[in-house]
Amino acid sequence: MPTYEEAGAAPVFGRGVRQTVLAMGVCSVVIGVATVVWPDKSLGAVGNLFMFSLLCGTVSLATVAFGSTLGRFPRTLLFLAAVVSLVTATLCFRAGNWTLLLAMWLGLAWSVRGIAHAVAGVWDDDEVTGQGKQELFGLVTLAAGLVIAVAPFDSIEVLAAVAGCCMTAFGALEVWTALRSPLAVRSPESDSLTPEQHLTSVIASAGGSGGRASD
C-alpha cells in the first residue's frame, strides 16, 4: 500500500509493517513476472498464480489495516479489502476452465482494493502526508481492476500478460514505498547528515517505528 511519509510527519507504518509490505511487494513482482513468462500457460497454472498474488495482497492489506496509524475508517476499509482479496483468491483457485471467470475475480479484488486505497488516501488528510499519491494509486488500481473484469479476454495468454504486468507494477510500487518511507521521515538532526549517513540511518531503521495514532 503506497503511503508516503514526509518531513515532520510521524511514520504511517508501525513496527514490522514496513518489512511485510516490502516482502509482499517483492513476492508480487516475482509472481507478476512469472505470470508473464510462464511457458505453456494453462488456466490452472495462471489461476494458481493469481491466487498467490491475491494472497500477497491480502497479507499486505491486513498488515497495514492492523499496524498503520491511519484512522479507524480507512483501516476498516483496508481490512474489508483484505477479506475480499482472500475470498477471490479462493475463487481463482476454483475457477475451473473459465478464462472470463478468472479475470472477473481478479478484477473484482483489484477494484475493491483500489477503492480502499483511494478512500484511505483522502480520509486522514490532516494526519497522513502524500495522500494525493496514494489516492492516484488507488484510482489506477481501480481502473486496472475494471479493465481486467470487463474486457473480453478470449485467450489465457493475453489475460496472463496484462495481469502479470499489472502485478509487477503494483509490487514494484510497494517495494519502492517500503524502501522510501524511512528516508522521508526527517528529524532536525537529519538535515545535516551526509548521503552516506542517510544510507546508514535507513539500514538501521529498517525495522520501522511508530505507534498507532489515536482515531
Tens digits of residue pLDDT in 161-199: 999 999 999 999 888 877 765 433 444 344 444 545 544
Q: State the chain's mean pLDDT as an integer.
A: 77
> How sure is the predictor about 13, in pLDDT bands with cuts at 50, 70 and 90?
low
Name which of 43, 5, 8, 65 is nearest 188 in CA terms: 8
More confident call, 113 vs 200: 113
Residue 122 has pLDDT above 70, yes or no: yes
Instruction: Report pTM.
Output: 0.74
pLDDT at position 12:
59
- Are 11 and 181 spatial neighbours (Cβ–Cβ below 8 Å)? yes
Residue 2 has pLDDT above 70, yes or no: no
Cβ partners under 8 Å of residue 82, min gap 6: 57, 58, 59, 61, 62, 65
> Distance between CA 178 and CA 19 in Å, rounded?
7
Cell of 145: 481492476
Cβ partners under 8 Å of residue 128, min gap 6: 3, 9, 12, 69, 70, 121, 134
